[in-house]
A and B are shown apart, each in its own frame.
Chain A
Amino acid sequence: MPAPPDPALTLGLLAERCDATVESLLLALPSTGDRLAQAAVDGYLDAVMDLLRMLAAAAREGAGRLPTAPVSQAAPHVAAAPPWGMP
């Protein structure tokens, strides 16, 4: 994952990655062929998915509390025409 300098963007991307991983783990069907080992794998994955959901929620909440960097700071090379029409 590229690391944007704006922490609010980082947290937003982090939340998306956590959500995407939960989705992929929900679709995964790892099979150990052994009842006890399977219970351990399933229990571990349940705990990890719960952690990732909590982390995604915390990241979104944190992103909402942070000030967002101005566009000219986030992308200095930009697209540089300010919206108010200055040269």
Chain B
Amino acid sequence: MGYAVNGAGDPASLAATATALQRVARDLVDAADSLDSRPAPGAPRRSPANRRLLAELADVCRAAAAVTRTGGDELNRAAYSQARLGHQSAALADEAAAAGLVTGPTGYAMRPGIVGVADPADSATRSAHLAGVRDRAAQLEQHMVREREQLIARLSAAAADAEALAGGLR
């Protein structure tokens, strides 16, 4: 691959983190709804200052819920995408191996050495196969790069929102 890959990634770990984020997003919305609700009959009257405090905390809860929901959605999407692209890459590698191609540092290539008889038609077929496999590998890589860039952009924006919210609470 043409970009920095330090490992295979772990879709399950992304999905588990996404679940924790989505759960807290729901809790934050529930808390905001509860804070916004009218006091029960007979409950102590709320002073204007306390009403303002509760309304502000409810707003922060909803904004925090949006931030955590965004992160959960993005990590879930990344988990699904990583699993799908990993499967497609493996299938392509299997197909290439079956066609007598090998993978090297620069991608797919013909197996080195003399293979079979010098048949121009067979050689042309294998060349066409190699071109097709390389083309699909390039498409997969482009797709991965696009998805990575979207993940980075969306998580960076959500992180900036989280920092702004936390700064408002300090």
| B166 and A40 form a contact (CB under 8 A) | no
Give the interface size class of chain A: 35 or more
| B20 and A24 form a contact (CB under 8 A) | yes
CA distance A40 to B14 in the complex (A): 13
**Which residue on chain B has the smallest CB distance to residue A4?**
B34
| B21 and A30 form a contact (CB under 8 A) | no
Question: Of B26, B61, B156, which is within 8 A of A14 by CB?
Answer: B61
| B163 and A47 form a contact (CB under 8 A) | yes
Q: A30-B10, A55-B64 are in contact. Are A3 and B31 (CB under 8 A)?
A: yes
The B interface is mostly helix, strand or loop, or mixed, namely helix
Q: Which of A24, A55, A68, A70 has the most CB of B within 10 A?
A: A55
| A28 and B159 form a contact (CB under 8 A) | no
Chain A positions 37 through 54: 1 when the CB is less than 8 Å from some CB of chain B, otherwise 0: 110110111111011111
Q: Does B106 belong to the interface (CB within 8 Å)?
A: no
Binds A, one of B91-99, B129-137, B147-155: B147-155
| A33 and B10 form a contact (CB under 8 A) | yes
Chain B positions 2 through 36: 1 when the CB is less than 8 Å from some CB of chain A, otherwise 0: 01111111100110110011011011101101110
Q: Closest CB-CB distance, A66 to chain B, in whole Å?
A: 6
Give the interface size class of chain B: 35 or more
| B34 and A34 form a contact (CB under 8 A) | no
Q: A54-B170, A67-B44 are in contact. Are A17 and B27 (CB under 8 A)?
A: yes
Q: Which residues of B contact A (CB under 8 A)?
A: 3-10, 13-14, 16-17, 20-21, 23-24, 26-28, 30-31, 33-35, 37, 39-40, 42-44, 46, 50, 53-54, 57, 60-61, 64, 67-68, 71, 75, 78, 82, 148, 151-152, 155-156, 158-160, 162-163, 165-166, 169-170
Q: Which residues of A contact B (CB under 8 A)?
A: 1, 3-7, 10-11, 13-14, 17-18, 21, 24-25, 28-38, 40-41, 43-48, 50-55, 57-59, 62, 65-70, 73
